[in-house]
């Protein structure tokens, strides 16, 4: 569910929808076009990433896959990207907060289809998939690693693969085993003790590590669901049969989703997300630091040496998203990225910090449209009958992929 723009879903209208939802023939041509636009059949080819010259290099993807599952690329040797991004859970987890070496303040985001988005993390503080991959590597609550440690580990175990793709590794002899600008006090001091040229060499290796992981993550695609098969049949003028067919309640929920409930305003396209940031009145979590969402991410993104304009980007200044992004305004306050709804029904809890435990409660949140604790919520209250709520839940469950 997502924001409303002032249209009230009255009980009488919902009752009429229920009567019309007996079969797929009840969809209008406009509804069919919207439904088709949500299907995986409408997913375009992956957009290029000009900031990563190896984004679609199969050799880089193979190296990135090995790095993604390798726990050696963490401070204690026990955490990998796959610790939170579980392959059998659509590369997400079932926790309220991401948990690596420590515990973060936000939920882990799913990776299926992630390469289609222009911004990364809940607040969009990274503007490329490779730059995103670097954040958790140094975060003391996640991998708790350091840049020189990563370079040493690459040289020890992946030198041939790395150098085939990126060229020779720099000379590492004499470098501290563990040094980086975001580590412990002793690790930061060791980093400051390195001269600028050596830091730049290690930064280049670090960026390339992220680029390899991103090349792998670009291969992670959403899985086909019952909804996709239903939508394909609808597009082709075929009657869905067997498991592909929707029941009355599922059809009614789909009609609500693309109609009066207006969920499709933000959860649109084949990934069911507009990739933008919205304040929907989600409450804070007691005990956590103040989280302003997109409003606090802009300065961090601009200052990031690994952004599209940075020295390690391959874009050559071709950075339209970063150049023209919105940098101020009340609508950025407590605005968080619209998550994909694919597979969401089986992956509670919900919202950026897992504030809402069950999908039924998410629907309740959007129907009540509470005021935001900061900034201005985009929600307007709507009226849903109990059947309408059940119908939306039934439809959302059709977006779950087959169990692995």
pLDDT digits (tens, 9 = 90+) for 187-209: 999 999 999 999 999 999 999 99
> Under the phi-then-psi rule, with left for phi > 0, alpha for psi from -120 to 50, and beta for the rest, what region is 227?
alpha
CB 26 within 8 A of CB 239: no
Kindly tell me if the per-residue pLDDT of 171 is higher than 80: yes
Residue 128 Cα to chain centre, angstroms: 12
* Mean pLDDT taken over the chain: 93
Q: Which two tokens stand for residue 240?
A: 């869905």
Predicted confidence band at 24 (pLDDT cuts at 50, 70, 90)? low
Q: Is residue 183 within 8 Å of residue 202, measured between CB atoms?
A: no
Most distant CA atoms of the chain, gap in Å: 76
Q: Which CATH superfamily is domain 11-43+224-293+333-397 in?
A: Cytochrome c-like domain (1.10.760.10)
Rounded to an integer, what distance in angstroms lies between the CA atom of residue 228 and that of residue 246? 11
pLDDT in tens, 264-287: 999 999 999 999 999 999 999 999
Which among 95, 10, 86 has a CA at the least distance from the CA of 383? 10
- What is the structure's pLDDT at 1? 41
- Residue 18 pLDDT exceeds 50: no
* Pairwise CA distance, residues 18 & 23, whole Å: 11
H helices present in 218-289, as ranges: 226-236, 248-258
The string of pLDDT tens digits covering residues 209-240 is 999 999 999 999 999 999 999 999 999 999 99
**Residue 327's closest CA among 282, 277, 372, 378?**
277
What does the alpha-carbon distance between residue 160 and residue 385 come to, in Å, rounded to a whole number? 62
In the chain, CATH 1.10.760.10 covers 11-43+224-293+333-397, 58-217
- Kindly state the helix (H) or strand (E) to which residue 399 belongs, with its residue range: none
- What is the CATH T-level fold of the domain 58-217, as seen in this structure? Cytochrome Bc1 Complex; Chain D, domain 2 (1.10.760)
* Distance (Å, whole) CA 227 – CA 272: 12
What is the full DSSP assignment across 82-143? HHHSBGGGTTB-S-SS-BSSSB-SSPPPP-TTGGG-SSBTTTT-BSSHHHHHHHHHH-TTTT
- 382 token code pair: 């709507």
Q: Rounded to 5 degrees, what are φ and ψ at 40?
A: -60, -20
* Contact (Cβ atoms closer than 8 angstroms) between residue 120 and residue 129: yes
The mean pLDDT of 104-113, rounded to a whole number, is: 96
Residue appearing with tokens 């992946």:
158
212 touches 133 (CB < 8 A): no
Could you count the other beta carbons within 10 Å of the beta carbon of residue 386? Answer: 7
3-state secondary structure at position 321: helix
- Which residues fall within 8 angstroms of residue 216, CB to CB, at 6 or more apart? 60, 61, 62, 63, 64, 65, 67, 68
Strand partners, 263: none
Neighbours of 33 (CB within 10 A): 12
pLDDT of 150-165, one tens digit each? 999 999 999 999 999 9
Which of the 8 DSSP states describes residue 277?
A: E
* pTM across the whole model: 0.93
């Amino acid at each position: 569910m997502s924001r409303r723009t002032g249209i009230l879903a009255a009980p009488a209208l919902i009752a009429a929808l229920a009567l019309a939802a007996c079969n797929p023939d009840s969809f209008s041509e406009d509804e069919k076009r919207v439904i088709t636009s949500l299907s995986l059949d409408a997913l375009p080819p992956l957009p290029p990433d000009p900031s990563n010259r190896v984004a679609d290099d199969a050799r880089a993807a193979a190296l990135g896959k090995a790095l993604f599952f390798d726990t050696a690329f963490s401070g204690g040797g026990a955490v990998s990207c796959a610790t939170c991004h579980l392959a059998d859970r659509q590369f997400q987890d079932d926790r309220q907060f991401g948990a690596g070496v420590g515990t973060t303040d936000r939920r882990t985001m799913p990776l299926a289809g992630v390469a289609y988005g222009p911004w990364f993390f809940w607040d969009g503080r990274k503007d490329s998939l490779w730059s995103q991959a670097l954040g958790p590597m140094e975060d003391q609550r996640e991998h708790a690693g350091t840049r020189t440690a990563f370079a040493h580990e690459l040289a020890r175990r992946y030198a041939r693969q790395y150098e085939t793709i990126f060229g020779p590794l720099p000379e590492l002899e004499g470098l501290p085993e563990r040094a980086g600008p975001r580590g412990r006090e002793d690790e930061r001091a060791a980093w400051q003790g390195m001269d600028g040229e050596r830091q730049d060499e290690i930064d280049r290796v670090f960026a390339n590590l992220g680029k390899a992981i991103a090349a792998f993550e670009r291969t992670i695609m959403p899985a086909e669901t019952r909804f996709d098969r239903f939508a394909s049949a609808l597009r082709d003028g075929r009657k869905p049969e067997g498991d592909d067919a929707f029941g009355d309640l599922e059809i009614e929920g789909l009609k609500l989703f693309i109609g009066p409930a207006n969920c499709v305003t933000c959860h649109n396209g084949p990934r069911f997300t507009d990739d933008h940031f919205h304040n929907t009145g989600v409450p804070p979590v007691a005990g956590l630091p103040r989280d302003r969402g997109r409003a606090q991410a802009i300065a961090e993104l601009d200052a990031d040496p690994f952004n599209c304009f940075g020295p390690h980007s391959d874009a050559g200044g071709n950075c339209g998203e970063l150049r023209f992004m919105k940098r101020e305004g009340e609508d950025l306050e407590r605005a968080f990225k619209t998550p994909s709804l694919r597979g969401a029904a089986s992956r509670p809890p919900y919202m950026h910090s897992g504030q809402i435990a069950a999908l039924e409660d998410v629907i309740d949140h959007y129907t009540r449209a509470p005021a935001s604790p900061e900034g201005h919520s985009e929600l307007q209250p709507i009226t849903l009958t109990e059947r309408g709520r059940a119908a939306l839940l039934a439809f959302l469950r059709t977006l779950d992929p087959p169990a692995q």
